[in-house]
Structure 1
Amino acid sequence: MKLVNIHKLLLLMLFLLLKMEIASGQVWTLKQCIDTALVHNNNLESGRNSIAIGKEREKEAKAHLLPKVTANADYKYFTDLPYQLMPLSTFNPAASEGQFNEIQFGVPHNINANLQIALPLYSADINGAIRNTKLALELSELKYQKSEEEVYYEISNLYYNAKIISHQLNFVKANLKNAEKLLENLQSLKDEKLATGTDVSKIELQVSQLKNQEQNLSYKYGQINNALKFTMGVSLDLNMEIETDIRFEESLQEESGIILDYQIAKTQEQLIQSEISTLNQSRFIPNVNLVGSYGTTGFGYDQSPNEFLKFFPMSFVGLQLSYPIFNKGVTKRKLKQKQFELENNALQQELISEANAMKIENAEMQKDMTKKSLLTTEEQIALAQKIYNESLLQKNEGLVNLTEVLLAENALREAQQANLTAIIDYLKADLELKKLRGNIRNINY
């Protein structure tokens, strides 16, 4: 999975296109909002940085396989030359055993310079670190996909809410316009003694209520619009309008895609298994390094008349083995911790699988219910509209009073609101089902 590499060119192209679209001030589609969020959302940007960090850590772990070369140099001036005890028989064969004579060795000036090389032939820690960083990178990429899915879901949810508020606002404005027109007619009828003051007051109350509802919906639309901009990662000052058309074509039955929560848990399991393997290998297999050194050693004497400074080569190659004999049971304790982590991970996978199956079943029932509600509210709108039209005709003919007309109009408004609510509930249920099945990217734009 190389998501960042795949996204780099696409994100650059999207960024340029979105800049042009922002400047043009056109109506934003759901796809444009999601594409903008994929470029500008701070959580996704943080996720891309985490993936880049994971790649660098993997490279760092692999770099430990390369030979390490160090240059060393030191100079020592001995104000007191070191002493050593020599058997006295070395100088006097007749001397008895157990007698020694102290002797100073060396010269005051000592110079050492060398290059040292160390190449790991086998190291459980290095091999384990490479495996772990690779799995950690896969985990970061899965979490990035999870963040993308959350952005898809959140943007779509906010977009649908903004749509429903926009339609509610349009209904209220249309009803307010009709109410103001009716109020004007009643005022004329009242002046001609054909309508009562009570009838006028009822319509005035309705106009006041509709104006208050319009104001509240306008504020609510602004709040949702700001939340949408924030999630997209654009400025709150951006003048943005959304598409108001509502399309709720039933999507075809889709097979479940990758459930990222479960995939993340599986990758975490692999990471724990890798850590256990590394700990076991470090217990029983020694680390092996190829080592070597090439340099020179200098000796100097500065007392007349025998001053000198001489250098002598010194080099070696060899193998270095490192094997832990006793570390106070630290590795054993770490292994027990990892076993508990493995058990918790298995429980987590089981929980994710069962919870997801339950949520999918509930979401399917919710979608079926909202679909039936959608059909019912469409029938109710047609019936309420018919009743309202007939009430107006009967009112003009003096067959019914104003109260019945107002009741018919309220029933029509309630049917309209119920239909909008059913539509948005259906869209949200479908969105939730796609999210649970791992198909959130297949949104009906």
Structure 2
Amino acid sequence: MRQLNPSYIFFMKKLAITNVLFLFITFNVHAQPWTLQQCIDSAYTNSTKIKTANNNQKITALKQQEVKANLIPKLSIQGEYKYYLALPYQLMPLSIFGGPEGQFKEAQFGVPHNINVNALLQGPIYSNELMGNIEKLAIRNKMASIETAKSYEEIYFEVSTIYRNAQLLHSQLHFIDSILENTKKIQETVKQLALEKMANQSDIQKITLKIATLTLNKSHLETNLQQLYNALQLYTQSTNAITVEDHLLMVAINTYESKQNKDIALLKLQTELINLDLQTLKRSKYLPDVGFFATYGTQGYGYNQDPNSFLNFYPIGYVGLRVAYPIFNGNATNKKIGQDALWLENLKLKEEAVNDQMDLAIKNAVLTMNNAFQNVALNEAQMNLAATIYAQEVKKHEQGVTAVNDLLLAQNEWVQQQQNYVQSIAQFLAADLSLKKLTNNIPNNK
């Protein structure tokens, strides 16, 4: 058998070790939980809502450039060839030939071949409608920018809410796993006591029922948690499984400075848009549209019958102004002005209503956040007390002093206080996030 080269063997060993390390590192990277910021950043990158909003903003900007391009004079070349099958007639007064007044004689003029080639330059000098449209599109561009910022804000809020809910369920699962493990130990102890005639079969059944209930709750929580993970995977467009960080992290209570709400900003821009339309309509009643035009080219006339066939070209050029002044349009302009006035009134009422709703929502969010902040401390103390009582009951049961019912009651209270503690943290974080959104303090990439 041919012996392998030692350097080749060393190379293959090195390659195998490298592949194992690569797989190990890749697995660990994929297995690591995602932070909230990682989920948000990935959602920003992959969100169809944000991509659509960005495209809409680009469309508005391009539309504005398109309308502005109408201010630039347009140059075109026009050509025309006509062949007359029958030359046009004109009536000639006989008086120019010495005949009587009021009598005419038809006569054909021109040649059958006509060729025109002209360069035409035309553009606006002043157009009320064009200037108004440019200003309106500038406002619409601002509105599109705010809509894009709102999309970022909504993604931040939605992903944060899902992430916090997943952390809540993850913490609850952690508690249930701990309690299940503890309850199974108690079950083994009770079984041993039953063998020694120090516990009865009913005690074992109660513990078994408790384990079954905890297992069922765990399965339910795992299903709900997986649904939240699926939602995060949809937002982030990750091809790998997503998990969240283990524990809910409590933050200090914050006071947010109230900034202008994006919905209010949009209403103000809509009001500005209607006012601009109103100004454009009023100007259109007395300001004319003025444009210029200029042309230069050549005209060709041809005759192809012998003995005098020819094709001659003659230059032609002129400049001019075009003026359009409104005199009467059936009172349509005044009707449009009346509509805009009503739109302005509606926008004012809507802005007042939104402001009132925002003020109320902010007050309620502050109350909810303060209450949740206080509840966190209270629930933490109650959870610690319940844990102490449960530990005491476990010792008493081991000593045969307390019954299984008392032990299970203490355990139930401990479980409930654990759930209350985690939920109070989640409620506080949710209220904090809601207040951050209402006061327009959610960060985004805009």
Q: Same fold (TM over 0.5)?
A: yes
**What's the counterpart of residue 75 of structure 2?**
69
Equivalent of residue 273 in structure 1, options 263, 271, 275: 275
2:232 aligned with 1:228 = yes
Cα–Cα, structure 1 residues 281 and 164, in superposed 2: closer, same or farther, change >3 Å?
A: same
**What's the counterpart of residue 433 of structure 2?**
431
Return the letter of the residue paired with 2:95: S
How far residue 103 of structure 1 moved from its aligned partner, in angstroms, is 1.1
**What's the counterpart of residue 194 of structure 1?**
198
> 2:157, 2:433 within 8 Å by CA — same for their partners in 1?
yes
**What's the counterpart of residue 338 of structure 2?**
336
Q: Secondary structure at the match of 1:241?
A: coil
1:46-65 alignment to 2 at 5 Å? 46-65=52-71
CA distance in 2, matches of 1:190, 1:201: 12
**What's the counterpart of residue 180 of structure 1?**
184
How far residue 382 of structure 1 moved from its aligned partner, in angstroms, is 1.4
TM-score by length of 1: 0.91
Q: Once superposed, what is the RMSD of the aligned Cα atoms?
A: 1.6
2:373 aligned with 1:367 = no
**What's the counterpart of residue 22 of structure 2?**
none
**What's the counterpart of residue 40 of structure 1?**
46
**What's the counterpart of residue 247 of structure 1?**
249
Equivalent of residue 257 in structure 1, options 256, 259, 263: 259
How far residue 245 of structure 1 moved from its aligned partner, in angstroms, is 2.6
How far residue 129 of structure 1 moved from its aligned partner, in angstroms, is 1.1
Q: Secondary structure at the match of 1:284?
A: coil
**What's the counterpart of residue 104 of structure 2?**
100
How far residue 328 of structure 1 moved from its aligned partner, in angstroms, is 2.3
How far residue 168 of structure 1 moved from its aligned partner, in angstroms, is 0.4
How far residue 23 of structure 1 moved from its aligned partner, in angstroms, is 6.6
CA distance in 2, matches of 1:164, 1:76: 83
Return the letter of the residue paired with 1:384: A
1:298-313 alignment to 2 at 5 Å? 298-313=300-315
> 2:300, 2:312 within 8 Å by CA — same for their partners in 1?
yes
How far residue 24 of structure 1 moved from its aligned partner, in angstroms, is 4.5
Cα–Cα, structure 1 residues 263 and 199, in superposed 2: closer, same or farther, change >3 Å?
A: same
Q: Secondary structure at the match of 2:347?
A: helix
Return the letter of the residue paired with 1:324: P
How far residue 258 of structure 1 moved from its aligned partner, in angstroms, is 2.9
Moved more, 26-35 or 325-334: 325-334
Equivalent of residue 347 in structure 1, options 343, 346, 349: 349
2:409 aligned with 1:441 = no
User: May I ask how many residue pairs the two structures share in their alignment?
Assistant: 419
Unaligned stretches of 5+ residues in structure 2:
1-25
Unaligned stretches of 5+ residues in structure 1:
1-19
**What's the counterpart of residue 20 of structure 2?**
none
Equivalent of residue 86 in structure 1, options 81, 87, 92: 92
TM-score by length of 2: 0.91
**What's the counterpart of residue 325 of structure 2?**
323
CA distance in 2, matches of 1:91, 1:111: 32
How far residue 402 of structure 1 moved from its aligned partner, in angstroms, is 1.1
1:101-141 deviation digits (Å, cap 9, x = unpaired): 11111111111110111121100111111111111110000
Identity between Structure 1 and Structure 2 (%): 36
Equivalent of residue 292 in structure 2, options 278, 290, 293: 290
Return the letter of the residue paired with 1:385: A
Q: Secondary structure at the match of 1:102?
A: strand
CA distance in 1, matches of 2:284, 2:117: 34
> 2:253, 2:373 within 8 Å by CA — same for their partners in 1?
no
Return the letter of the residue paired with 2:125: L
**What's the counterpart of residue 16 of structure 2?**
none
**What's the counterpart of residue 122 of structure 1?**
126
Cα–Cα, structure 1 residues 34 and 50, in superposed 2: closer, same or farther, change >3 Å?
A: same
1:36-77 deviation digits (Å, cap 9, x = unpaired): 111111100100100110110010011000001121111111
Return the letter of the residue paired with 1:219: T
How far residue 193 of structure 1 moved from its aligned partner, in angstroms, is 1.9
